[in-house]
Amino acid sequence: MISKSQVKHIQSLGQKKHRDEEGVFIAEGPKLVKELLQNDQAEVRHVYALGEWIEINERSLRGIDALPVDQQELERISQLTSPNQVLAVVKKFETPEAIDVKGKISLVLDTIQDPGNLGTIIRTADWFGLSQVICSTDCADVYNPKVVQATMGSIARVKVFYVDLIDWLNAQQDIRIYATMLEGKDIGSMNSLNEGLIIIGNESKGIHEEIVKLVNAKITIPKKGGAESLNAAVAAGIILSKIT
């Protein structure tokens, strides 16, 4: 049985303000929660789950208290339209103070505000072995429940930084900056890269002009049909598939 104050507390974590204050976020569903429980980087604080889930996953819990809830209670605390067996409150991941971009490829996101897109981009970066994604401060919050869900567990493996993008890019020395744009060098002619920053822009507005000025190479995914643009996560996937 879950108390009223617990329900209120968990619901409050749907808002960034409360997540920031407490340094935690919500993860839901058996797949994601299990992945977080198995990941040494993740500190799962509380688990709320159906009795059946707790019985089956007792070993995965490794001593973490799991409060049994019924379906109705789960619905009250869940951020999903179809709550799925288990919800966990997890400590936010630590990110190092300094961002190390040497010898690796990093994705840089300019104003990716759709939570599903941001989560899918993080998942895609993870698939292609990237260790970090650098976001402008006006991107969606990585701990937004919809972002967490869309990462499908990759949130525990990919470090996500938030920076003032113009300042930060201005400070980058000796590293090439690539930008995905509607006009540029055909991605098909690109070789694989060992190092670089790949900027993906907002779908409707593209990359900010001040940022475009800092770019060393513009790359493009040639358009063969009628669509005006590609989804940002799809574009990121195509580029990473080619250069990694």
Binding site for a copy of itself (CB under 8 A): 116, 120, 123-130, 152-154, 157, 187, 221, 223-231, 233-238, 241-242, 244
d(CA 218, CA 16): 34
> Quick one: 54 or 243, whose CB is closer to a copy of itself?
243
Q: Find the shortest distance in angstroms from Cβ 134 to a copy of itself.
A: 17
User: Which residue type is seen at 208?
Assistant: H
Please report how close the Cβ of residue 209 comes to a copy of itself at its closest, in angstroms: 21
Residues 1 and 21: their CA atoms lie apart, in Å, by: 26
The answer to whether 124 and 198 have CB atoms below 8 angstroms apart is: no
Q: Provide, rounded to whole angstroms, the least separation between the CB of residue 222 and a copy of itself.
A: 9
- In the complex with a copy of itself, the residue whose CB is nearer, 112 or 165, is 112
The residue (of 172 and 244) whose beta carbon lies closer to a copy of itself is 244
CA nearest 176: which of 103, 126, 115?
A: 103
User: In whole angstroms, what is the distance from residue 180 CA to residue 168 CA?
Assistant: 18
Whichever of 172 and 231 has its CB closer to a copy of itself, that residue is 231
Determine the Cα angle at 146 with ends 142 and 149, to 5°: 90
By C-beta, is 175 or 230 nearer to a copy of itself?
230
Min dist CB 135 to a copy of itself, Å, is 18
By beta-carbon proximity to a copy of itself, the closer residue of 6 and 154 is: 154
* Cα–Cα distance list, 13 to 80, 94, 160 (Å): 13, 18, 19
Q: How far is the CB of 20 from a copy of itself (least distance, A)?
A: 23
Tell me which residue of 91, 105, 70 sits closest to 239, measured CA to CA.
105
Give the number of other Cβ atoms within 10 Å of residue 170's Cβ: 13
Least Cβ distance, residue 151 to a copy of itself (angstroms): 8
